[in-house]
Amino acid sequence: MQLFYREINETPQADATPLLILHGFLGSCDNWLTVSKQIAQRFRVFLIDLRNHGRSEWAEEHNYTVMANDLKEFIDTHQLHQPIIMGHSMGGKTAMQFAAMYPDALQKLVVVDISLRKNIGNHQYILAALQAIDLPTLPSRNEADATIAQYEPDMGVRQFLLKNLYRDDQNQFAWRMNLKGLVENYENILAAVEFSKPFQKPTLFIRGEKSDYVLDAELYSLQVQFPNFTLKTVKNAGHWVQAEQPQAFLDALMTWV
């Protein structure tokens, strides 16, 4: 599958290490544009839209195995040698699945606020809010925001979701994401990542202090699966670590890499 991407390279160098960034559920590569500019001072950064998200292709199948294979195809197509792969949330699980399937194809792994385990679904109300919007009759973005506000009071979350809304060639509102496909595959998105053997290469987990996606009780199992494992906890941050505390996130990442 052909994945949409943006390449960010603030200091172009032919030998700069490629660093691939994978967004989370209902997000897109654009969520990482601001943070990536600082990362790109040292690395050749690729911001990637995963399948059924952003400007990438849609497909009925959506699980971590096929997304890892999409990523392998991307790396092979662009002839990227030993990249660092970083993913947030769903993107973090995709990155871990890639490491499980293709451990020799990456140099280092960075996982942002997600663990291996199956997650308890907490997006149902958001999916319901998005499905409640009647796109053919939608008069404005403000009206879409008002509909979502009946389900989600946080303006920041609503703005994040509304980044998926655009006008198509017929000037009709449409979703960039494959909303129907994501709803149908939601259980696959919550699923655990399975490893047949430990991933031996350097691995960084960055979690938000206020988040419950990476629990203290899971650290031993993560250490077993990732023997070369480092954990950094960003204070005063929830699940969207890189957006809530961007400088602290960058400090944790850049010091480690």
239 is catalytic: yes
Dihedrals phi, psi of 7, to nearest 5 degrees: -100, 125
Provide the residue type at 239 as one letter. Answer: H
Look up the pTM and report it.
0.96
Q: Which of 36, 56, 89, 211 is catalytic?
A: 89
- The amino acid occupying position 60 is E
Tokens 């292709």 correspond to what residue? Answer: 57
Q: How far apart are CA 28 and CA 36, in angstroms?
A: 13
Which domains, from first to last, does the chain contain? 5-118+191-256 (3.40.50.1820), 124-184 (no CATH)
Residue 183 CB neighbour total at 10 angstroms: 14
130-179 pLDDT, tens digit each? 999 999 999 999 999 999 999 999 999 999 999 999 999 989 999 999 99
Q: What is the pLDDT of residues 173-207, one digit of tens each?
A: 999 999 999 999 999 999 999 899 999 999 999 99
The SS3 of residue 225 is helix
Catalytic site includes residue 88: no
List alpha helices for 40-116, DSSP H. Answer: 64-77, 90-101
Round the CA-based radius of gyration of the chain to a whole number and report it.
Answer: 18
